[in-house]
Structure 1
Amino acid sequence: MITVRHAQDRGHANFGWLDSKHTFSFGDYYDAKHMGFSALRVINDDVVQPSAGFATHGHRDMEIISYVLDGKIAHKDSEGNIQELPAGEFQLMSAGSGIYHSEYNASTTDNLQFLQIWIQPNSFGNQPGYQQKDFGKRAGLTTIATPTGEDGTLHIKQDATLHQLILEPGTELEMAIEAGRNVYVHHVEGTLKTDDVQLENGDGAKIEDQTSVRFTNQGESRATALIFDLP
């Protein structure tokens, strides 16, 4: 079964320096029907004005993934990590027992757009950690994060796997789904058909009680999506 969350139906907050679309309930946006999906708790599509950003604030016991769509993040945290995260790269910050960080638009002239993703961990009070990597833009499924950190993937503290899906025009890919698993698709760009359901930029889809799903790109440009394999 596929349940679509259309981009235009997401929650919305605009603070001037930040324009954010919320797939699930977050901040002042609350919808009892959209509190998350399995261990996936937050997908915020954030657009940050030049030189603006999130001042130092704290988190604990949350796996926080940032994926930059356009621009560059200037990151600083209480574990001593001072990094820049450019478009196309993934960052995974494990808040664990507690971490403070700030995230700013590194540009003084251009907007920053990135996805802020929170996944609830399956163990608590761990040592905070920081990981960052560019996985490239290879067509097909590229595994980004796994529970074991195998094969150079980011190590996430949950029985969850994150894939990057890229399909060239006129191509398709079928993904097997293990029994009892849930899959969430967040569509990033292009047009993507998920089984018989068409997804556009910013759309999301819950996939439940299926043994496989077929992704098809019938558009004229490359399609990109994030695929979450969840307990």
Structure 2
Amino acid sequence: MARKLKPLSQFQYIPSSELSTGSFDAGKITEVKLIGFAGEPSPLLRLGPLFYWAWATARSAASIPSHPHRGFEIISYVIDGVLEHRDSLGHIDRLGPGDLQVMQTGSGLEHEEHFVTTPCSMFQIWFDPNFRQKIKERPRYKVIRDKEISSKHIGTKSTIKTLISPAGGYRLDAPVSVMDIEVGAEGRWQWHLAANTACLAFIIKGLVHGRSEHDESVARPSDGLLWATEDGLTITLQAEQDSRLLLVTVDQVPTYPLFPKPKPRS
């Protein structure tokens, strides 16, 4: 019988020096990872249905050859440059800054990625939407352009762009939300993290003070901040400089069994 998961209450500052790394195309594409592949050392093994999170950068034209995926919901979000996608379903797309690609890979597909306009940087994040059920479903694919994604201005200093959400944004089957948050210098943004959820932030640029009722830390580019709560929590982000971060929020314990992920070998 599988061990019953229990929500956690914790805070963790993850310095960029602790992120795992990887590369493709003879080192032309480099990655840093808050959450690595199965069996790969990284700061976090997983966070509920959040299974993998990488930040990839290419300084010159480079490619990742065709490779398979199945079961997972995979988002790719471009920050700079142009990324070209080709897949076994026949899709050929180019994604520019602010464009979001969603692959709900189901029974399986293959795709390849080409960093065609550089420097190019993008996030790729995998979610487990009930893997063992989803591999029985046909794969789905969607590109949402920057201009189609909802943005909300909070005061004069903050802009919240909702990429993935059950309410607003594109809805995944996994219980998650993803936001691109910009906070101007001396700006402040506050939100409430619901009970039994967790959030993980990756700092893209700037200098951010993140704090809750119990914890506080300063984060710089490529640092991570994690909050998890059983009872609910109010979190505040204060920016010393113009700052930007990607924030993922998840249910810690979904209503379905999570796909097992082996720990790295010691």
TM-score range, shorter chain: 0.7 to 0.9
User: How much does 1:18 deviate?
Assistant: 2.0
Letter matched to residue 174 of structure 2: Q
State the identity %. 20
Q: Which residue does the alignment assign to 1:4?
A: 13
Letter matched to residue 11 of structure 1: S
CA distance in 2, matches of 1:6, 1:13: 17
TM-score normalized with structure 2 length: 0.77
Residue 179 of structure 2 corresponds to residue 163 of structure 1: yes
Q: Which residue does the alignment assign to 1:114?
A: 122
Residue 68 of structure 2 corresponds to residue 58 of structure 1: yes
Residue 162 of structure 2 corresponds to residue 146 of structure 1: no
Q: Secondary structure at the match of 2:44?
A: coil
Q: Contact 1:68–1:90 (CA<8 Å) still a contact in 2?
A: yes
Where in structure 2 are the equivalents of 1:199-214 lying within 5 Å? Answer: 199-209=219-229, 210-214=232-236
2:189 corresponds, among 158, 170, 173, to: 173
Residue 29 of structure 2 corresponds to residue 18 of structure 1: yes
User: How much does 1:166 deviate?
Assistant: 1.2
What's the RMSD between the two structures over aligned residues? Answer: 2.0
1:122-179, CA deviations, whole angstroms, 9 ceiling, x for partnerless residues?
A: 35133212222213775332221124xx54x222120111112111111111111111
Q: Contact 2:160–2:182 (CA<8 Å) still a contact in 1?
A: yes
Q: Secondary structure at the match of 1:183?
A: strand
Q: Which residue does the alignment assign to 2:49?
A: 39
Where in structure 2 are the equivalents of 1:87-106 lying within 5 Å? Answer: 87-106=97-116
Letter matched to residue 80 of structure 2: D
* Paired residues, number: 223
User: How much does 1:88 deviate?
Assistant: 2.1
Q: Secondary structure at the match of 1:111?
A: strand
Q: Contact 1:175–1:212 (CA<8 Å) still a contact in 2?
A: yes
Letter matched to residue 105 of structure 1: F
Computing the radius of gyration from Cα coordinates, the structure with the larger value is 2
CA distance in 1, matches of 2:30, 2:179: 26
Q: Contact 2:36–2:53 (CA<8 Å) still a contact in 1?
A: no
Where structure 1 has 5 or more consecutive residues not aligned to the other structure, the ranges are: none
User: How much does 1:27 deviate?
Assistant: 7.1
Q: Contact 1:12–1:29 (CA<8 Å) still a contact in 2?
A: no
Q: Which residue does the alignment assign to 1:194?
A: 210
User: How much does 1:28 deviate?
Assistant: 7.6
User: How much does 1:95 deviate?
Assistant: 0.9
Where structure 2 has 5 or more consecutive residues not aligned to the other structure, the ranges are: 1-9, 252-266
Q: Contact 2:36–2:54 (CA<8 Å) still a contact in 1?
A: no
CA distance in 2, matches of 1:159, 1:74: 28
Q: Contact 1:20–1:44 (CA<8 Å) still a contact in 2?
A: yes
Letter matched to residue 223 of structure 2: D
1:69-121, CA deviations, whole angstroms, 9 ceiling, x for partnerless residues?
A: 221100111222111011222211111111111110123xx332211111111
1:229 corresponds, among 209, 228, 249, to: 249
